[in-house]
Amino acid sequence: MSRKILFVALVGLIVIFGVSRKSVLDADHLDLRYHFKLVDAAHVNEPKPGDAFAYHGPSKTFADNAICSLYGQQFISHPNAVNLTVFNYLGESVHWAMGQSETVAQQSIWEWFHFDEHVYSISLDKIFRQTAERENMRERCRDKVFEKATEDGYFVFIVETVYLDRDRDGVERYVKFNPRPIVTSDCTANCGTGVSLETLLDVGWLTKQKKNWNIVQVFGANQPSGDDA
């Protein structure tokens, strides 16, 4: 494919997404959160691994504070930083095409579509629960959690991992919840359904499609994965 054809193809694609051009071409924290299924820590107060948070399905909001800590303060800090970079391949291609602009008209088009954030990087610390401790529920907290989980419209999710921003004095940045809400033994057939971890992310349609279309990819050391993600 010649550079001229590639140029025309890229312009056509960008025009299709003209209204949301910045989101299509950029990489940002929404891409990172959706890739690893992380919830913005701003939705809850001082989250810690093992904390149980109530989520109200109808209003799509978390209760500000944890119900209690289901497993107590049984968590550890990862010894190494989690360094992550989100890369937008389409954004990189457009940057390349901008460099090939030969006429004033072409340069004017790129100026209208100006952006400079097709790479997003962040450095995090993380604290997480140890797998061996997961079955040791604190009885008093368990009763409170089960009571809330049976209330109409409420779902209780347990914090697995908390990510702290190394550039902001350890402020909580992201929360990794267990993907399944708490379900009691006497739960009815449809209990615990209707809300999933996907619902909690609240990243928008376009962010999801960027990942589905393989426009963005995440690289880095100590990426969230496995039981302590």
Digit-coded pLDDT (tens) for 38-49: 999 999 999 999
Mean pLDDT value across residues 65-77: 83
Q: Under a CB-based contact definition with an 8 Å cutoff, are residues 88 and 118 in contact? A: yes
Q: Is the pLDDT of residue 16 over 70?
A: no
Q: Is the pLDDT confidence value at 21 over 70?
A: no
pLDDT top residue among 228 and 219: 219
pLDDT classification of 68: cutoffs 50, 70, 90? very high
Share of the chain above pLDDT 70, in %: 69
Mean pLDDT of 56-79: 85
User: Given pLDDT bands bounded at 50, 70 and 90, which one contains residue 100?
Assistant: low
Does the pLDDT at position 224 exceed 80?
A: no
Instruction: Give the model's pLDDT for residue 228.
Output: 45
Q: How high is the mean pLDDT of the chain?
A: 79
Q: Where are the alpha helices (DSSP H) in the chain?
A: 3-16, 21-25, 29-36, 89-99, 104-112, 139-149, 197-201, 205-212
pLDDT at residue 1 above 90?
A: no
- 167: Cβ contacts below 8 Å, ≥ 6 apart: 122, 123
Question: In terms of pLDDT, which residue wins out, 126 or 3?
Answer: 126
Placement of tokens 């400079």 in the chain: 116
Percent pLDDT > 90 in the chain is: 29
Q: What is the mean pLDDT of residues 151-168?
A: 91
**Among the listed residues 19, 50, 211, 206, the one whose alpha carbon sits nearest the alpha carbon of residue 136:** 50
pTM over 0.95: no
Specify the pLDDT at position 157.
94
- Note the pLDDT of residue 229: 47
Segment among 49-58, 67-76, 127-136, 137-146 with least mean pLDDT? 127-136
Kindly state the average pLDDT of the residues 143-169: 90
Q: Which residue has the higher pLDDT, 10 or 177?
A: 177
* Residue 192: predicted pLDDT: 60
Residue whose pair of structure tokens reads 């302590």 in the numeric block: 228
Cα Dmax for the chain: 72
